[in-house]
Amino acid sequence: MSGAGRLFPVVWRRLPGRIGLLGLALVVLAAVVAPPFLPSPIEQPDIEHADQSPSAAHPMGTDPLSRDVLARVASGGRVSLAVAALAVALSVTLGALVGVAAGYYGGAVDAVMMRLVDGALAIPRLFLLLLLLALWERIPITAFVLIVGATGWFGTSRLVRAEVLRLREADYVQAARALGSGAGRIMFRHLLPNAAGPLLVAATLGVGEVILLEAGLSFLGLGIQPPTPSWGGMIYDAREVLVTAPWASVFPALAITLTVLSVNLIGDALRDALDTRGA
């Protein structure tokens, strides 16, 4: 926690970082604070008022079941943000650990780990999820996050491993080894921070990926159960009226874009911060 506490001012000091933090704060606040002040995101007032364009009463219009899009965007953020944050945290951690261990130890450890990763990569993630999630009848949200997170790290581990392979013969790593640093210390103090570049990119891009993945899965009945809204699910629900009632999908899409952009700006600022510390 203290680490995060130290990083916050570092990010805030940079303009893009500040924009990112403000953007993310806006999205999170909307999801947490706004829903009680908005119409119900679940109840359908009147089917005759479906697909209405934005107006004073419904600033973002209504969806095909006459529900207020603004209310659904706000409370949809709860699910989408939570799932994205937790699943990405899990997959980046797993990817970093496996990648750094495989790259550092090399040899048999590397061969075994990477063959397993290759094997997992050879199964398209969507299929893996379709089959895994179907094993449960109704999936609790924690299990959902675990499964999405646990199937998302294969590529990250390869990226980290590639960085570590490049770095492990570097002078400062050799020096640390010569000075008698333990394997753990070398991996976590010297190798991982220098692989922060691809890791941060994987994390920040992962947020968008997971939100969209959740959407595809809820469309197939494997994600968040309707009528609970999620951003991705909203876009899929409004698919038939994409051209004729675009507001029902444009606003959740904008929410995803704002989130992904904010997270990437924060990631950039973090990277810069880590860079200056290393120098």
Contact 161, 202 (CB under 8 A): no
**Contact call for residue 244 and another protein (CB under 8 A):** yes
Q: Which of 138, 142, 179, 180 binds another protein (CB under 8 A)?
A: 138
Query: With 0-12 CB in 10 A as exposed, 13-18 as middle and 19+ as buried, what is 19?
Result: middle
At closest approach, how far in Å is the CB of 213 from another protein?
Answer: 10
Of 2 and 138, CB closest to another protein: 138
Contact 232, 216 (CB under 8 A): yes
Of 33 and 197, CB closest to another protein: 197
What's the Rg (C-alpha) of the chain? 22
CA 122 to chain centroid, in Å, comes to 22
Contact 256, 232 (CB under 8 A): yes
Contact 82, 93 (CB under 8 A): no
**Contact call for residue 57 and another protein (CB under 8 A):** no
Q: Which of 20, 58, 232, 266 binds another protein (CB under 8 A)?
A: 232
Nearest to 101 by CA among 113, 118, 119: 113
**Contact call for residue 205 and another protein (CB under 8 A):** yes
Alpha-carbon distance of 226 to 237, in angstroms, equals 10
Q: Which of 16, 39, 54, 59 binds another protein (CB under 8 A)?
A: 16
Q: Which of 10, 89, 128, 176 binds another protein (CB under 8 A)?
A: 128
Q: Which stretch binds another protein (CB under 8 A): 70-78, 144-152, 176-184, 191-199?
A: 191-199
Q: Which stretch binds another protein (CB under 8 A): 20-28, 88-96, 178-186, 264-272?
A: 264-272
Q: Which of 145, 212, 248, 270 binds another protein (CB under 8 A)?
A: 212
Cα-based angle 237, 76, 24 (whole degrees, multiple of 5): 130
Give CA torsion, residues 207, 208, 212, 213, to 10 deg: -40
CA 197 to chain centroid, in Å, comes to 16
Which positions from 79 to 98 touch another protein by CB under 8 A, shown as an x/- string? --------------------
Which positions from 17 to 46 touch another protein by CB under 8 A, shown as an x/- string? --------------------------xx--
Alpha-carbon distance of 267 to 185, in angstroms, equals 25
Q: Which of 70, 256, 266, 273 binds another protein (CB under 8 A)?
A: 256
Of 6 and 239, CB closest to another protein: 239
